[in-house]
Structure 1
Amino acid sequence: MLFTRDTEVALAAAAALVNTDDPDGEKLPDVAALDDFVKTWGWTGERARNQAELKAVRALRPRLREIWHSDEERVVDIVNELLRESNALPQLVKHDLWDYHLHATPSNAPLAARMAVEAAMAMVDMVRAKELSRLRSCDYPTCGNVVVDLSKNRSRRFCDDGCGNRASVAAYRARKAATK
């Protein structure tokens, strides 16, 4: 493990959120899809479960995506903006199956604010560890997803949407075609 568990989960959740903004089709089309996303990633706290909340979460995605495509100075600017806008006040908390970890917003803060701050706090660890190179885009040519490479040898190239399999199949077919 490179980072604490909560940091790694927050990084993965931020990437997953960014990747819901898909040019081939919205992956958060409605409140029910947001409910599923929240459940999948274990978000706790109060929820409005309405269109305004969905709109606020969707609006967060481009700001987070920018982190994957920025230099360290811009990442720091984005992180500080997100923390400042959400009035982040880090505190140690313990709940559910989690041991002590940081929350920087109260559980009744808007979902989008909690998501923004969780992502920002995880990025703080990335910046401090000089590990921003672990934030990259999927190597599959037609994929626009972002990837967090938490492997020891920094070898992760593809997102979780099957791009690695598609790349392997394409390479296999190319090798087969070359031998004919």
Structure 2
Amino acid sequence: MPFSHDMVYSLTTAVDLLNTSPAAGGDEGLTSVEDLRTFVGRRVISDVENLDDRDLVEVRELRDEFYEVFTAPDRETAVSLLNTLLGRTRITPSLAEHDGFSLHIHYFAPGASLAEHLAADCGVALAHVLVEDERDRLRTCAAPDCAHVFVDESRNRSRVYCDSRTCGNRMHVAAYRARRRA
């Protein structure tokens, strides 16, 4: 994949956020401020202080907007949706080195809320995907009972399952059993 480590990290953060949504085929993954704190800790999101119910609501709304961008039916729709989202975001690029990560770029403005922080960093990463004409790497799991999203980082763009150990393995076992019955 032609993206730098920090772009891949931001895309992975976006995917992790999107897969907390009921739209991704499961239960609500952000039911409380504590769930939001866990997400922030898991993704090592810096410069995030006190989180409250307002942050939870804003992040859920942002998550829904990112899901629309990620699953947009065409490039033009994805670009329009992402431009709208980024247009509301204060973006202030700055170089940072923290938490064991090498030098990288943060795009969020100082003092930004968690939602604005995610909108800037993850939004810019998604913008790079669109600019590099790599939108086809933004995928939804091919397993019939899963709607999780993922970024296909494979060289030949062949990944079809969100996780090869769960959905992939389950689908391969089902296909094997079907062949054995035939």
- Structure 1 and Structure 2 fold alike (TM over 0.5): yes
The aligned residue for residue 106 of structure 1 is 109
Alignment of 1:4-19 (within 5 A): 4-19=4-19
The aligned residue for residue 177 of structure 2 is 173
C-alpha deviation, 1:107, in angstroms: 4.4
C-alpha deviation, 1:132, in angstroms: 0.6
Match of 1:80 among 76, 80, 83: 83
Alignment of 1:137-176 (within 5 A): 137-160=140-163, 162-176=166-180
State the alpha-carbon separation in 1 of the partners of residues 145 and 115 from structure 2.
Answer: 29
State the alpha-carbon separation in 2 of the partners of residues 58 and 136 from structure 1.
Answer: 20
State the alpha-carbon separation in 2 of the partners of residues 24 and 124 from structure 1.
Answer: 27
TM-score normalised to structure 1 length:
0.90
Structure 2 residues without counterparts, runs of 5 or longer? none
Cα RMSD after superposing both structures: 1.7
The aligned residue for residue 29 of structure 2 is 27
The aligned residue for residue 98 of structure 2 is 95
What fraction of aligned residue pairs are identical, expressed as a percent? 37
* Greater alpha carbon shift after TM alignment, 140-149 vs 40-49: 40-49
Q: 2:90, 2:116 within 8 Å by CA — same for their partners in 1?
A: no
C-alpha deviation, 1:117, in angstroms: 1.2
Q: 1:44, 1:107 within 8 Å by CA — same for their partners in 2?
A: no
Tell me how many residue pairs correspond in the alignment: 178
Secondary structure, aligned partner of 1:157: coil
The aligned residue for residue 58 of structure 1 is 60
Secondary structure, aligned partner of 2:102: strand
State the alpha-carbon separation in 2 of the partners of residues 102 and 124 from structure 1.
Answer: 15
For 1:171, the aligned partner's letter is A
